[in-house]
Amino acid sequence: MSKIAINHQQEGLAIANIDGAIKRISELKYIVKSQNDNGEYDVCSTN
């Protein structure tokens, strides 16, 4: 099996495309599921 090098932005976009991985709860706040399925985290958007 070969490995493909991707950057953090590409990895984040791939995770975001997983169904239910990210839920928007307000204009700037999201709930993000842990990648290893052991919880959820509140994340605030910044510019």
Q: What are phi and psi of 33, to 5 degrees?
A: -75, 145
Rounded to two decimals, what is the model's pTM? 0.47
Span 1-47, pLDDT tens digits: 556 667 777 777 777 777 778 888 888 888 888 777 778 878 887 76
Instruction: Please tell me the predicted confidence (pLDDT) of residue 5.
Output: 65
Instruction: Please tell me the predicted confidence (pLDDT) of residue 22.
Output: 81
Tokens linked to 15: 């995770």
